[in-house]
Amino acid sequence: MLKRCLYFFIIILIPISAQEKLFQPHDVFRTQTVGETSVSPNQDYAAFTLISSRSFDDKPGAAYRELYLYNYSDKSVTPLMTGKVSISRVSWLNDSKYVSFTANMKDDKKSQLYLLSIDGKDTIRVTDSESSILTYQWHPSENMVAYITVEEKEKPEYEKQGFNQEIFEENIPERNLYLLNRASGEIEKLNNEGAVFDFKWSNDGNKIVAAIAPNNLVDDSYMFKRIYVIDVESKEMIKLVDNPGKLGNFAWNSSDNKLAFISAADTNDAVAGSLFMCDVPNNNAFRQLKNYSKNFIGSVTDIHWLDEETFLFVSEEGVNTTLRKQKYNSDKSELLIEPGTAVFKSINIAGNKIVFNGQTPNHPSELFTYYINEDKVERNTFHISWLNEIKLAKQERIEYTASDGLNIEGMLFYPINYEEGKKFPMIVYVHGGPEATNSLGWNTGYNRWGQAAAARDFFVFMPNYRAGSGRGYEFTMMGFADGGGREFIDVLDGIDYLVNEGLVDKNRVGIGGGSYGGYFSAWAASKHTDHFAAAVSFVGIGNKLSKRNTTDIPWESYYVHWGYWVNDKPMEIYDRSPVRYAENMNTPLLILHGTKDPRVHPSQSLEMFRAFKLKGKAPVRLVWYPDERHGNTRNTSQLDYLLRTLNWFEYYLKGDNPKDSKPDYEIDYGLEYFDEIGE
């Protein structure tokens, strides 16, 4: 058993014994993860991106995304494009000799489409677009390529003179689908209206199915994307399906006469997680289409056809991920990848091989391959050798019964020095959404504290409260028009369960999370303050009245969360707001927010800070992250958030610090750690 360590602030690193090393917060920024994966048509290779946080000696910014090649014959990994690059949308040409991707290279003003030979010697820029290439797909013949760009309008002359006013939600850049003829260089616009967010070529190359919304707005992309078929020759656009609400992925069958698509079951469904089929052309209304997910206890996240009548789908099922196979018009599916194998969201297929990035409790995302004919899964990459030297905390799925009888599950990290019969402090991590879930995966990052907090002898409880995804339509709908109500009681019931099990000290429970998890944390510190000794709210909601009128997704909020407008029932909405209970607030609250957040306006955090500082009974601190949006992308902002969060919990959940005091707001970022380990 390791000797228990004493802490003053989180910035003091845990001592490392000669026998065992513990996970440090800085290790989050050493962690490399596999991003996109794509198997070559000849099945000899898999191309993938490797995501690495940039060095703190570098200019602050987002992580780099490098391009690598896995060779199945000798199991080798070859770097194709590395360094200070950001590679996206990885695919292949049919000859398997070239990988395609989008990137912003040295002389590019905008992200372009590139080809790179697998020997790394030949780089070809395919596009010369004035706007960034967002996504693309090769025509089956590869003589043409279709792509989406956002048209950035030319700045008027007066703006150069300093008249740089912005006309909000009117001067909206267009989001269009274009077709490039590689031989002639001719470019055609394919959509005659709307904003195109996704598309797929038909196998014969004559048609494109596309997800098109009225406007290039986030709210439109959430709620108003509909499925259209575009005839490439005539440019005729026909609405194929008037799907309700949210829309996910879609796929043609091999004969181009059927389309599988993932959609919300109805307008009020918060999750695009149900699987539907329609004929092409389609004469049926949406309500007449077969819902292959009816009564399915899960959420579909990806769909592909295996042959003319057989499709594959990826699904969240509780805390696990599965891959299933099913026949057209059948009500039964066959399990291919078992629950607990790995957590993944999507797949890529060529012949006998299916590739994906998969994570487990023991490692972040790596390249995996499922061999269809052999019915076996293989992990192909092992990027983090240093993780073998780290003693990881135990992580397990737990299940408990809520006070109204509903079974709730979640993830639980044990303190690294756990002893049976001894009670420990606990941090409750609340996922956002609420239409999301915590899975049996890695669960450690700048905004998920799993191993970093467990190494400091905290339990970390990650409840999958009702209203989330992964347990079917009915479970998701349990939160409709009841935000912060029964769903929050699920969290309290989970805490009571762990306290009654003798694991947790009920007087040393903290709570934290981002977005909707940030709302829950502020709600905990105010309405339910008696249950919590510390709270951290990141990009969270303080006043649901003002939030709904300042967010960039007001229609999504109306349709899938409330069902009525602010003016219809203002007091009912305000009654679910943390600031409404500012006078109750007796839980030290750390508030953090990006200054350019369009989803939850930063004024939400300012409202909380003012209300709790004026009326609350416990310390409150507000931290702004300049130019960050709904979540931190810069490595410096991420490290600051991680250290401040752990420090806040250390200060109030351990030791005997006065509850009316606060930890120092200055942070020693401990960057010498990277020098000590030689990175």
3-state SS, one letter per residue, for 298-357: CEEEEEEECCCCEEEEEEEECCEEEEEEEECCCCCEEEEECCCCCECCCCEEECCEEEEE
Q: Which residues, 6+ apart, have CB-to-CB distance to 496 below 8 Å? A: none
Average pLDDT, the chain: 95
| Confidence (pLDDT) at 2 | 28
| Confidence (pLDDT) at 320 | 98
The pairing of strands 390-391 and 504-514 is unpaired
User: How many other C-beta atoms are found inside a 10 Å radius of the C-beta of residue 109?
Assistant: 10
Using the predicted structure, report yes or no on whether residue 188 has a pLDDT greater than 70.
Answer: yes
Cβ atoms of 269 and 473 closer than 8 Å: yes
The C-alpha angle 274, 279, 284, rounded to 5 degrees, equals 80
Backbone angles phi, psi at 569, to 5 degrees: -140, 65
| Confidence (pLDDT) at 3 | 27
What global pTM score does this model have? 0.94
Backbone angles phi, psi at 356, to 5 degrees: -160, 160
| Segment 63-85 mean pLDDT | 98
| Segment 34-53 mean pLDDT | 99
Using the predicted structure, report yes or no on whether residue 159 has a pLDDT greater than 90.
Answer: no
Using the predicted structure, report yes or no on whether residue 655 has a pLDDT greater than 90.
Answer: no
| Segment 73-101 mean pLDDT | 98
Using the predicted structure, report yes or no on whether residue 634 has a pLDDT greater than 50.
Answer: yes
Cβ atoms of 579 and 609 closer than 8 Å: no
Q: Counting beta carbons within 10 angstroms of the beta carbon of residue 569, is it exposed (0 to 12), middle (13 to 18) or buried (19 or more)? A: middle
Contacts by 280-286, CB closer than 8 A, 24 or more apart = 280/209, 280/229, 280/240, 280/252, 280/256, 281/229, 281/238, 281/240, 282/240, 282/241, 285/242, 286/241, 286/242, 286/243, 286/244
| Segment 136-140 mean pLDDT | 98
Q: In angstroms, rounded to a whole number, what is the distance separating the alpha carbons of residues 223 and 233?
A: 29
| Confidence (pLDDT) at 106 | 85
Reported as a single tens digit per residue, the pLDDT across 205-237 is 999 999 999 999 999 999 999 999 999 999 999
- Bridge partners (DSSP) of residue 396 are 412
Q: In angstroms, rounded to a whole number, what is the distance separating the alpha carbons of residues 128 and 111?
A: 9
What is the CA 25 to chain-centroid distance, rounded? 21
Q: In angstroms, rounded to a whole number, what is the distance separating the alpha carbons of residues 257 and 189?
A: 25
Runs of H (alpha helix) within 184-328? 218-223
- Percentage of the chain surpassing pLDDT 70? 97
| Confidence (pLDDT) at 19 | 54
Using the predicted structure, report yes or no on whether residue 574 has a pLDDT greater than 60.
Answer: yes
Task: Pick the closest to residue 275 from 255, 298, 254, 256 (CA basis).
Answer: 298
- 285: enclosing H helix or E strand: none
Cβ atoms of 573 and 561 closer than 8 Å: no
| Confidence (pLDDT) at 13 | 44
- Bridge partners (DSSP) of residue 414 are none
Using the predicted structure, report yes or no on whether residue 121 has a pLDDT greater than 80.
Answer: yes
Domain 32-128+345-390 = CATH 2.40.128? yes
- Percentage of the chain surpassing pLDDT 90? 93
Token output for 233? 């020759």
Using the predicted structure, report yes or no on whether residue 18 has a pLDDT greater than 70.
Answer: no
Q: In angstroms, rounded to a whole number, what is the distance separating the alpha carbons of residues 520 and 400?
A: 20
Domain 393-660 = CATH 3.40.50.970? no
The pairing of strands 424-430 and 459-464 is parallel
CA dihedral 268, 269, 275, 277 (to 10 degrees): 0
Q: In angstroms, rounded to a whole number, what is the distance separating the alpha carbons of residues 526 and 520?
A: 10
Q: Counting beta carbons within 10 angstroms of the beta carbon of residue 76, is it exposed (0 to 12), middle (13 to 18) or buried (19 or more)? A: exposed
Backbone angles phi, psi at 460, to 5 degrees: -125, 115
| Confidence (pLDDT) at 330 | 94
> Residue ranges per domain, the chain?
32-128+345-390, 393-660
| Segment 390-402 mean pLDDT | 98
3-state secondary structure of 83: coil
Using the predicted structure, report yes or no on whether residue 675 has a pLDDT greater than 80.
Answer: yes
Q: In angstroms, rounded to a whole number, what is the distance separating the alpha carbons of residues 132 and 128?
A: 9
| Confidence (pLDDT) at 93 | 98
| Fold match, 32-128+345-390 / 393-660 | no
3-state secondary structure of 249: strand
Q: In angstroms, rounded to a whole number, what is the distance separating the alpha carbons of residues 305 and 303?
A: 7
Task: Give all strands (DSSP E) within 393-458, no chain letters.
Answer: 395-401, 407-413, 424-430, 444-445, 448-449
Reported as a single tens digit per residue, the pLDDT across 339-360 is 999 999 999 999 999 999 999 9
Residue with tokens 């001592």: 15
| Confidence (pLDDT) at 434 | 97
Buried b (16+ CB within 10 A) or exposed e, 392-412: bbebebbebebeeeeebbbbb
DSSP line for 479-531: TTT-TTTHHHHHHHHHHHHHHHTT-EEEEEEEEEEETHHHHHHHHHHHTTGGG
| Segment 638-663 mean pLDDT | 96
